[in-house]
Amino acid sequence: MTTPTETPATTTTRTMLAIEGLTVGYAGAPVIDGMRLDVPHGAVVALLGANGAGKTTLLRTVSGLVRPRSGRISLDGQDLSGLSVEDRVRRGLAQVPEGRSVVSELTVEENLHLGALWKIPGRSARRAAVAEVYEAFEPLARRRRSMGHQLSGGERQMLALARALVARPRVLLLDEPSLGLAPRVVAQLFAILRDTAERTGLTVLLAEQNVTSALSIADRGVVLGLGEIVADAPAAEIAADPALRHAYLGF
Amino acid sequence: MDRLAFLLATGLARGLVIALFALSLVIIWRAARIVNFAQAAMAIVAVYVAFAVTQATGSFWLGLAAALVTGAAVGAAVERWLIRLVPSTTPLPGMIVAIGLVMVLQSAISIAFGPKHRPMAAPFSEQPFSVGGVAVLSPYDLFILLVALGVVAVLAVLFNGTTLGLQMRASAMAPEVSRLLGVRVPRMITLGWMLSSAVAALAVLLLVPTELGLNAHSADILFVHAFTVAVLGGLDSPSGALVGGVVVGILISLVTGFLGAGLAPIAVLVLLTVVLLVRPGGIFAAKEARTA
Of A86, A104, A150, the CB nearest to B182: A86
Number of domains comprising chain A: 1
pLDDT confidence of residue B286? 60
End-to-end CA distance of chain B: 55
CA of B184 vs chain A CAs: smallest distance (Å) = 6
Least confident segment among A71-75, A243-247, B83-87, B224-228: A243-247
pLDDT tens-digit map of B12-48? 989 999 999 999 999 999 888 888 999 999 999 999 9
DSSP H helical segments within chain A, as ranges?
55-63, 85-90, 108-116, 123-136, 138-142, 153-165, 183-200, 211-217, 235-239, 242-244
For residue B127, the tally of other CB atoms under 10 A from its CB is 10
Instruction: List, in sequence order, every residue forming a beta bridge with A234; answer none if it has no partner.
Output: A220
Is residue A53 domain-resident? yes
Shortest alpha-carbon distance between residue A106 and chain B (Å): 8
Span of A231-235, A240-244, B64-68 with lowest mean pLDDT = A240-244
Q: Which residues of B touch A65 (CB under 8 A)?
A: 176, 179-180
- Alpha-carbon distance of B117 to B212, in angstroms, equals 7
Length of chain B equals 292
Please tell me the distance from the alpha carbon of residue B158 to that of residue B192, in angstroms, as a whole number.
12
| Domain extent at residue B237 | 2-125+136-278
On whether residue B199 sits in a domain, the answer given is: yes
Residue B244 has pLDDT above 70, yes or no: yes
Asked if the Cβ–Cβ distance from A94 to B170 is below 8 Å, we say no
| pLDDT value for B129 | 82
pLDDT at A128: 94
Contact map slice: B 90-149 vs A, CB within 8 A: none
DSSP helix/strand/coil, A64: coil
Q: How does residue A4 score in pLDDT terms, banded at 50, 70 and 90?
A: very low
DSSP codes joined into one string, A116-181: HTTT--SHHHHHHHHHHHHHHSHHHHHTTTSBGGGS-HHHHHHHHHHHHHTT--SEEEEE-TTTT-
Q: Mapping DSSP to helix (H, G, I), strand (E, B) and coil, where does residue A54 land?
A: coil
Q: Looking at residue A236, which CATH number applies to its domain? A: 3.40.50.300
B164 part of contact set with chain A, CB < 8 Å: no
Task: List Cα–Cα distances, A210 to A51, A215, A223, A249, in angstroms.
Answer: 12, 9, 13, 10
Please write the tens of the pLDDT for every residue from B120-178.
Answer: 888 888 888 877 777 778 899 899 989 988 998 999 899 889 999 999 999 988 999 99
Any idea what the CATH number is for the domain that residue B241 is in?
A: 1.10.3470
CA distance A244 to chain B (A): 34
Task: Name beta bridge partners: A205.
Answer: A45, A173
What are the backbone dihedrals phi and psi of residue B220, each rounded to the nearest 5 degrees, phi first? -60, -50
Assess if residue B289 is contained within a domain. no
pLDDT-derived band at B198 (thresholds 50, 70, 90) equals very high
3-state secondary structure chain B: CHHHHHHHHHHHHHHHHHHHHHHHHHHHHHHHCCCCCCHHHHHHHHHHHHHHHHHHHCCHHHHHHHHHHHHHHHHHHHHHHCHHHCCCCCCHHHHHHHHHHHHHHHHHHHHHHCCCCECCCCCCCCCCCEECCEECCCHHHHHHHHHHHHHHHHHHHHHHHCHHHHHHHHHHHCHHHHHHCCCCHHHHHHHHHHHHHHHHHHHHHHHHHHCCCECCCCCHHHHHHHHHHHHHHCCCCHHHHHHHHHHHHHHHHHHHHHCCHHHHHHHHHHHHHHHHHHCCCCCCCCCCCCCC
- B-interface mutation test, from A105, A124, A126, A168, most B Cβ less than 10 A away: A105
Q: Give me the pLDDT at residue A7, please.
A: 43
Residue B130 lies in a domain: no
Domain assignment present for residue A212? The answer is yes
> Closest residue of B to A165, CA-based?
B181
Which residues partner with A45 through β-bridges? A205, A220
**Does A158 map to a domain?**
no
Contact B289 A104 (CB under 8 A): yes
Domain count for chain B, please give it.
1
Answering whether pTM is above 0.90, one says: no
How big is the A-B interface in CB pairs under 8 Å? 73
CA angle A81, A84, A89 (to 5 degrees): 100
Contact in structure between B233 and B281 (CB atoms under 8 Å): no
Q: Would B287 be classed as within a structural domain? A: no
- In a domain? residue B257: yes
Domain housing A73: 9-101+168-249
Residue A117 lies in a domain: no
- Strands A171-175 and A93-96, how do they pair? parallel
Q: Which residues of A touch B166 (CB under 8 A)?
A: 106, 110, 113-114, 117
Give the strands of the sheet with A93-96, arranged side by side: A93-96, A171-175, A203-207, A44-48, A220-225, A228-234
B184 touches A at CB < 8 Å: yes
List phi, psi (to 5°) of A44. Answer: -110, 110
CB contact under 8 A, A151 and B170: no
Cα A186 to Cα A181: distance, rounded to the nearest angstrom: 6
Does residue B292 lie in a domain region? no
Please report the pLDDT score of residue A228 as a whole number.
Answer: 87
Nearest-by-Cβ selection for A101 from B177, B183, B286: B177
Distance in angstroms (rounded) separating the CA atoms of residues A91 and A198 = 21
Nearest to A163 by CA among A217, A90, A108: A108
Could you tell me if residue A112 is inside a domain?
A: no
Answer whether B287 touches A (CB < 8 Å).
no
Q: Distance of CA B11 to CAs A58, A166, B18, B90, B248, Å?
A: 59, 51, 10, 37, 8
Nearest CA in chain B to A122: B163
Q: What are phi and psi of A198, to 5 degrees?
A: -70, -35
Q: Which helix (H) or strand (E) holds A106?
A: none
Q: Is B181 on the interface with A (CB under 8 A)?
A: yes
Q: Does B182 touch chain A if contact means CB atoms closer than 8 Å?
A: yes
Look at residue B292 and tell me whether its pLDDT is greater than 60: no
pLDDT digits (tens, 9 = 90+) for A127-185: 999 999 999 898 899 999 999 999 998 899 999 999 999 999 999 999 999 988 889 98
β A171-175/A15-24 pair status: unpaired
- pLDDT above 70 for B287: no
